[in-house]
Amino acid sequence: MSESTPTVSLRDRTGVGRATGAGREAGIVRGAGADRETGVGGGSGRGHASGLVRPPAESRAATDGSRPVRSASSQVNPYRSEVERVLLKGATGRVEILRQLHKLEMMYPVQAHLVDATLNCFNTRYLQRRLEQEISNAGRYAQQFSLIGWEVDGYEAYVRQYGERWGVVALKEIVAMVKAVTRRGDVCAHVGVSRFALFLPNISMEGAGRVAEKIRLRVRHQRFPLPGEQSGRLTVSFGAVHYGEDGADAATLLGELDRRVTEARSAGGDQGRVGDQLA
């Protein structure tokens, strides 16, 4: 005995069949909520398979006279627009293009990914870009600046004991404190797991040493939040370098700063290395 052939039931004069039997094979499928006279599907169920879907919200808004809805992805990115302008205006030479792009990065640090959003400070890339600019200005206008670097003593043990979440909370508290005790034009950057650098324009080495000591004492006496009613304690080891005395390029200055921070930490922590002296 052979199987019976499914029948197609026509529901109106449009020739649109039900989504059963031969109706599927013929591709005549009615979408949910279809209009009986036009056969336009409602955009759900199998209406997608036949292409009978509703227009997007932006198109519907445009046809009924209301203002189109713009998605987040279509918002104008000023940094990207400026980058495109630089590339299209035909700057001559790779060096000039890089100079223009680096300048734009400094104007739009968030869009250029030069900010540590978790700790609310700049990152290593921003510090390197800023040093390049400041070294150029220092040579041209006889300006001076210093760099302070510090590392949190025993941070790994602190995280093992209390968890990474509370370690990050402590780092955020330190960054907030540094911003509160430094000038508006000073630049704090996160350059390692628990290591930071502070760019200090127009300051002597002696002045930088005083700022570093202030930060060290503040951290030493600060109580960092922990679960319940507990509080944690931390210390920092710091180093300081001065443009001209300790180097005349970014790589040399950062390398010497790293060496001095490591020496202070190796000497027991909770102290600093300014010039040739431990402080």
Q: What is the CATH number of the domain that holds 250?
A: 3.30.70.270
Tokens linked to 243:
């443009």
pLDDT number for residue 126: 92
148 and 203 Cβ atoms separated by less than 8 Å: no
Position 172 in a domain: yes
Residues 129 and 191 in one domain: yes
pLDDT digits (tens, 9 = 90+) for 98-149: 666 666 666 778 878 899 999 999 999 999 989 998 998 888 888 899 999 9
Residues 37 and 103 in one domain: no
Position 60 in a domain: yes
Residues 34 and 83 in one domain: no
Q: How far apart are CA 246 and CA 146, in angstroms?
A: 10
Residues 135 and 201 in one domain: yes
* Other Cβ atoms closer than 10 A to 254: 20
Residues 108 and 177 in one domain: no
Q: How far apart are CA 34 and CA 50, in angstroms?
A: 12
Position 71 in a domain: no
Residues 23 and 136 in one domain: no
Structural domain harbouring 3:
1-66
Residues 161 and 189 in one domain: yes
Position 270 in a domain: yes
Residues 55 and 176 in one domain: no
Position 228 in a domain: yes
pLDDT number for residue 4: 47
Position 201 in a domain: yes
Residues 132 and 223 in one domain: yes
Alpha helical stretches, state H, 154-239 = 155-162, 164-181, 205-221
Residues 206 and 80 in one domain: no
Position 194 in a domain: yes
Q: How far apart are CA 53 and CA 43, in angstroms?
A: 4
161 and 170 Cβ atoms separated by less than 8 Å: no
Which residue bears the tokens 């599927």?
Answer: 24
Q: What is the DSSP string of 87-110?
A: HHTT-SSHHHHHHHHHHHHHHSTT
Residues 4 and 39 in one domain: yes
Q: How far apart are CA 152 and CA 193, in angstroms?
A: 9
pLDDT digits (tens, 9 = 90+) for 196-222: 999 999 999 999 999 999 999 999 999
Range from 29-38, 51-60, 94-103, 214-223 carrying the lowest mean pLDDT:
29-38
Rg of the chain, C-alpha, whole Å: 32
What is the average pLDDT across 232-256? 96
- Report which of residues 142 and 23 the model is more confident about: 142
150 bridge partner residues? 196, 238
- Report which of residues 40 and 118 the model is more confident about: 118
Residues 251 and 190 in one domain: yes
Nearest Cα neighbor of 200 from 208, 212, 192 is: 208
pLDDT band at 229 (very low <50, low <70, confident <90, very high): confident
pLDDT number for residue 77: 64
Position 182 in a domain: yes
Number of domains in the chain: 3
